[in-house]
Amino acid sequence: MSSHTINHSARRTLPLLLLLSCLASTVEAHVKWFFPYDVTVAPMPIGEVLDGVFVQLFLVTVAGVYVFFLMDRYMLRKGVLSALDQKLKRFDNVATYIMRGSAGIFFVTLFLWWALGMGQSFFLTPELKTSAPYVPWLHLLMGLCVVSARTTPVTGIGIFILWFAAASSFGIFHMLDYPIFLGIGYYLAVSTAKSHGWLKSGLVVLFASTGITLIWAAVEKFAYPNWTVEVLKGRPGMLMGLTPEMFMKVSGFTEMSLTFILLGAASIVGRLVALGLMSVFVLAIFEFGFVDAIGHLMIVAILWVLIVRGPTDARNMLVLPGKALATEAYFMTGLYFLAFGMIFILYYGIHYLSYGS
């Protein structure tokens, strides 16, 4: 395939992805933080989810994923800005400071939320409310521990404690909304390790857990569209001419496909995708306010790390050197099919095992 064809396809596809990002930005606020929900209720039957519109949108994202990876692997092979990309990947210290600083702000804010009487204390996110007296003081300890590199692992361990404590109160299925915190906890716990292998594993786990969190949230938009439809009813200007049901489908596919692209991009263009996703979360803050800003602070921090530092070399396992560009694009598109199917099976399967419906 010629470079002219790839560049022309990219010029048509990237504006579409940006438009879809704008559509999705208005529902990036986690609906559980603002409106009633009940995870024990059975999700929408899969037969009702897979309607004609769903299939059409899926095929659109398949085409978008294929074209994107043609462009991405072409840029990788041509070495477009590859020298800059490699230099930026050395900024592990910057990544550590971003994560430590963000974690400090996050946990001190959670403590002040309780201490100043702004609301009930919660484990990690606003809907995970708790009256346990140790939680806000643990928040304060964790927020202060990131000041020193030596005590930063304490914050990582504290995140594990809070995640599993929340799981005991709210159930594992609910906490599968937040594997990102397990990734953050692991990253902070190994951040002072002397071994480069441990430091690299911290970034791999951090990025992977973030991707799983975003993809899981995308499936929730398909499985429980009625939760977010309530958000849209009070904000009709957000719909941009779409029905609430169509808006939810577009948002779900946007989040799913862009997250997959972010996890699989091997060239410097992956940093631009991270920038786009980070902008989505920042824009949602203007609509949903302070609670959304704090709730999504750590996701924004991780995306900022991806922009500044970039992915680890583990991403290279998805690259097929010596194969044709079309073969690489087919391979990544096949993984998209696999990821899409597996996340649905896991979501519905774990819900059935958890609640029997």
Looking at residue 164, what is its pLDDT? 97
Q: DSSP assignment, residue 50?
A: S
Segment 258-276, tens digit of pLDDT: 999 999 988 888 888 888 8
* CB neighbour burial string for 78-107, b if at least 16 within 10 angstroms, e if fewer: eeeeeeebeebbeebeebbebbbebbbbbb
Segment 289-330, tens digit of pLDDT: 777 778 889 999 999 998 888 777 777 888 888 889 999 999
Confidence of residue 228 (pLDDT cuts 50, 70, 90): confident
Segment 180-208, tens digit of pLDDT: 999 999 999 999 888 878 888 999 999 99
Share of the chain above pLDDT 70, in %: 83
Q: Which residue range(s) make up the domain with 142?
A: 3-355
Measured CA angle at 281 (ends 201, 182), to 5 deg = 30
- Of the CA atoms within 13 Å of residue 137, those in its CB half-sphere come to 4
Which residue would you say has higher pLDDT here, 193 or 85? 193
Which residue would you say has higher pLDDT here, 20 or 293? 293
Tokens 């991707």 -> residue: 211
pTM: predicted TM-score of the whole model, two decimal places: 0.87
Read off the tokens for 210.
């973030």
Which candidate, 110, 92, 115, places its Cα nearest to that of 196?
92
Average pLDDT over residues 210-230: 87
Residue 129 forms beta bridges with which residues? Answer: 122
Looking at residue 27, what is its pLDDT? 45
Looking at residue 294, what is its pLDDT? 82
Average pLDDT over residues 285-292: 71
Which candidate, 272, 328, 325, 326, places its Cα nearest to that of 78?
325
Q: How many domains does one find in the chain?
A: 1
Looking at residue 147, what is its pLDDT? 95
Which candidate, 101, 107, 135, places its Cα nearest to that of 121?
135
Distance (Å, whole) CA 232 – CA 39:
20
Which residue would you say has higher pLDDT here, 258 or 89? 258
Segment 105-164, tens digit of pLDDT: 999 999 999 999 988 999 999 889 999 999 999 999 999 999 999 999 999 999 999 999
Dump the DSSP string for 113-178: HHHTTSS--BSSSTTSB---THHHHHHHHHHHHTTSTTTHHHHHHHHHHHHHHHHHHH-HHHHTT-
Distance (Å, whole) CA 155 – CA 45:
40
Distance (Å, whole) CA 239 – CA 243:
7
- The mean predicted confidence, pLDDT, of the chain is 84
Distance (Å, whole) CA 279 – CA 82:
24
Which residue would you say has higher pLDDT here, 349 or 37? 349
Residue 122 forms beta bridges with which residues? Answer: 129
Model confidence at 6: pLDDT above 50 = no
Phi-psi region of 122 (alpha: psi -120 to 50; beta: other; left: phi over 0): beta
